[in-house]
Amino acid sequence: MADQRQHFDGVLTYNHALFAIGYGHSRWLPEHEVENMGRSAGDVDALKMEFTIDELARAAGTTVRNVRAYQDRGLLPPPERRGRSGIYNGAHLARLRLIGGMLDRGYTLASIGELLEAWVAGRDIAQVMGLEAALTSPWSDEVAEYMNPLELMQKFQGRFTPEVMQRAIELEVIIPEHDRIKVPSPRLLSVGYELTQSGIPLEETLSIVALLRTNVERAANELVQRVATYVFDIPYGHSLPPPEDASKLAEVIWRLRGQVDTAVAAEVARAMQRALESILGDRLTSIYEHLYGQEPR
C-alpha cells in the first residue's frame, strides 16, 4: 500500500495525470452544501448538471453496466432518487472521468478504491470534491450525437468516400459503434458541412482539422505543463496538497478555462485577419478594379 500511495502521489501532478485526485464516498453532498462551497459559478454549475444513467454513461464515455458496477463497488455514490428514476449530477460525471483516467493508467478497481480511501482520510470532503470537479469536468458542454451511416451520407451528399471516411475515423471526427456512428463534436461536423457547402472538398477540410489539432494539442500540452510545474510541482513536490489548499487549486483550474478560451479566441482572430489580408487581399483588389472598369494590375 505504501508503494501504491507513493505512486499515487506522483500521478497527482498535472504532468503525470489530470485525473488522479479523488474524494471519499462516505457521504454525498446535498445541494445546499454544494452551493456553499465558496467556489466559482462554473464549479457549482458543473456539479449541478443532471443526467439519467444512460446520459451519464454517454457523457463519460463508458457504459451503463460500468456505472452500475462502480456503484456496487462503492466507487461511485448512488444517484438521487426521484420517484422511480435515479438522477446523477456533475460530481458523478467527475468521478467517472477520474475512474476512467486511472484505469487507463493501469490501476485496478480495487487499487483505485484503496487509494481514494487513503487520500481522503481526514480531508474535508467538500474541498476535495471541488478540486476533483475542476480537474475532471468536461472542458466543453458539447454532448456527442449519434447518426446512422445513411444519415451521414445523405447529409454530406455522398462526399464521404471510403478514403474520406477512413481519414475522419482516424481523426475521431466520427467513431463507428456497431450499427451507428458517434459524432464526438457535432459543432466540428457542422463546420465541415458548411465548408463543403461553400465548395471546399471534405478531404481538404479534414486536412485542416489535422493541422489545427496538432498545433492546438502542442500548445495545450505546453500550457498544462507550466501549470503542473508552477502550481503543483514547485509548491508541493511529490506530496499531496494540504486540504486547506484544495479550494485554491480548484479556483486556479476554473479560472484557467476562461483564460485559455479568451487567449485562443484572440490568437485565432489575429491569425485569421492576417491570413485574409495576405491571401485574399489581392483578389479583393482585383474584384474592386473590375467593378469599376479598370484592368487588374
pLDDT for res 116: 67
Distances (CA, A) of 236 to 69, 232, 233, 263: 34, 6, 5, 28
CATH of span 2-141: 1.10.1660.10
pLDDT band at 194 (very low <50, low <70, confident <90, very high): very high
pLDDT for res 17: 28
Q: For the chain, give the longest Cα–Cα distance.
A: 83
Most confident of 83-92, 149-158, 187-196, 216-225: 187-196
pTM value is 0.53
Quick: pLDDT tens for 205-256: 999 999 988 888 888 888 888 888 888 888 887 676 776 787 788 888 888 8
Most confident of 38-47, 191-200, 253-262, 287-296: 191-200
Quick: pLDDT tens for 7-52: 333 333 322 223 222 333 323 333 333 333 333 444 445 556 788 9
What is the chain's mean pLDDT, rounded?
Answer: 75
pLDDT for res 74: 83
- Tell whether the torsion through CA atoms of 257, 77, 19 and 239 is positive or negative: positive
For residue 258, is pLDDT > 70?
yes
Q: Using CA atoms in the order 185, 186, 192, 197, what is the torsion angle rounded to 10 degrees? A: 180
